Amino acid sequence: MPETITRQGDIVQSLWNGSWIAALATGVFVIGLIVWACVFHRKKRYSDQELPPQVRYNLPIEILYTVVPIIMVAVFFYFTARDQNELDKLSGNPDVKVKVEAFQWSWRFTTEYQGKTVSVVGDPVDDYRNGPELVLPASKKVEFDLVSDDVIHSFWVPAFLFKRDVIPGVQNRFEVETLNKPAVYAGRCAELCGYDHSKMLFKVKLVPQAEFDQYIASQAGSAQ
């Protein structure tokens, strides 16, 4: 998995790790039972006329293999619902708001911070480093408002360990709290949306607060 740059990404990573550990433990246990059955009931232990003991209508066993999966699914459901609620939570007072407008086949980012706005619009590109740049401050809460006027797109920054669809007529929002990991990260559309879908690339530049303040001050009111 990519190294996450948001607090919410840590939640996703934890859920992912726990799910894999539980799945692997279950797999090892089931494979162990299969191997035991193959070894214990192999043909040479019985004559040609004799069959292994047949088990039917064993109520305790039937209850066991019904109840145990229900408990496992309930546990998975609990942790998934808990983390989903946290990922969908909006604080109502983000430090930065970003309006993300997806279109065939690029992006427009309008960043609002302390009453000032900066708008960046891109063109289809083959390399995310040449795409529109979304500048965000480190260690801050950022709310994204996703809109589309044509078809369904999907806003995906792999380093967020999170994506959300951009659907015409539907207001999708989410919030992340960035970590202190200044760098440039790739972003892309994750929903097949037309001829140049593969060129809907952009970059997210995570910067220290002082550099973000300077960026907003120098670019406020402009359209790049």
Residue type, 22: A
Domain end among 88, 106, 129 = 88
Count of domains for the chain? 2
**pLDDT tens digits for 83-119?**
999 999 999 899 999 999 999 999 999 999 999 999 9
Owning domain of residue 125: 96-219
What are the residues facing 119 on neighbouring strands? Answer: 110, 223
One domain for residues 201 and 135: yes
Stronger pLDDT, 182 or 54, i.e. the higher one: 182
The CATH number of residue 188's host domain is 2.60.40.420
Residue 223 has pLDDT above 60, yes or no: no
**pLDDT tens digits for 52-73?**
677 777 888 889 889 999 999 9
One domain for residues 104 and 77: no
One domain for residues 155 and 214: yes
In a domain, 224, yes or no: no
Residue type, 14: S
In a domain, 45, yes or no: yes
| C-alpha gyration radius of the chain | 25
